[in-house]
Structure 1
Amino acid sequence: MLIAVASKDGKEINQHFGHAERFLIYEVENGEVRLVDEKKVDRYCSYDPEHPLRGHLLRDIGTALAGCRAVVTAQMGEHPRSELEQLGIEPFTLCGPIHFTLVEVAKIL
């Protein structure tokens, strides 16, 4: 299964969903974790007076994460969480080493 991660350094889950400018996409299978892609996105937490609710950014992020079963970030607001759930992407807010954490998340999914 594919799981997206917000990470500043590619080692730890340590970034807020809204601050991410990229999501690392990992394939998790049988306890093995492998980086398979990187999706660049516009930051959700940005100011745009023309679009104060930033719905277009959430849609674009959702499109970038299509095919992922879950997304794991250090923090996430209720609005993005709800939007991701509607897209069938399960949101998790956790911190820790990417590989270990994704193995544990995969056990839940």
Structure 2
Amino acid sequence: MKIAVVTDDGKTICQHFGRAGYYLVASIENGQVIGKEQRPKSGHHTEGMQHNHAAGDCHGFNAHSQSVHAGMVSNITDCQLVIAGGMGMGARQSLSQAGIDVHMTDVADIDTTLKLYLEGKLPNLTERLH
């Protein structure tokens, strides 16, 4: 199993999926982290990837937003789970369509988060979807 965690520094979880600069991808075997790698992540910080908020658009679901979200997902299609501090519904839908589950947390430290998740002790704070 591979778990992608959104981050800016490789140590803490970014509070918003779309604004994170990187993924820390943890490879899991037998309930243990056996390796980690940092991967670039496109997002709202990437030139040309900003959200357009035209009048009448349903934020996160228009064609431009879906294209942005697809770009964010493209580098983690081998992952089964994303852990983030929060995200919009459009990003959540794009991850789901790619077969990637989402878990949201208020735990900041990546190592602690992975440990709690693997122990089944990390609450999924679905109220962090917006």
Name the TM tier (shorter chain). 0.7 to 0.9
User: 1:33 corresponds to which residue?
Assistant: 33
Residues 54-91 of structure 1 deviation map (CA, whole Å, 9 limit, x = unaligned):
22221122221111010001111111111111111001
CA distance in structure 1 between the partners assigned to 2:74 and 2:29 by the alignment: 23
Is the strand fraction higher in 1 or 2?
A: 1
What letter is aligned with 2:89? E
Q: Is the partner of 1:13 in helix, strand or coil? A: coil
Check whether the contact 2:18–2:44 (CA below 8 A) recurs between aligned residues.
Answer: yes
Computing the radius of gyration over CA atoms, which structure comes out larger, 1 or 2?
A: 2
CA-atom RMSD in angstroms? 2.4
Task: Describe the shift of the 1:41–1:14 C-alpha distance in structure 2 as closer, same or farther (beyond 3 A).
Answer: closer
Give, in whole Å, the separation in 1 of the partners of 2:51 and 2:31: 40
- Which of 41, 65, 71 does residue 60 from structure 1 map onto? 71
| 1:1-109 aligned within 5 A | 1-44=1-44, 46-47=50-51, 53-96=64-107, 97-107=109-119
* Corresponding residue SS for 1:6: strand
Q: Which one scores higher on RCO, CA 8 angstroms, separation ≥ 6? A: 1
Contact 1:41 1:64 in 2 (8 A): yes
Q: How many residues align?
A: 107
Q: Deviations over 1:37-69 (max 9, x none)?
A: 2221221462458x8732222112222111101
Question: What TM-score, normalized to structure 2?
Answer: 0.68
Q: For residue 11 of structure 2, what is the amino acid of its counterpart?
A: K
Gaps of 5+ in 1: none
Over the matched positions of the two proteins, sequence identity in percent amounts to 28
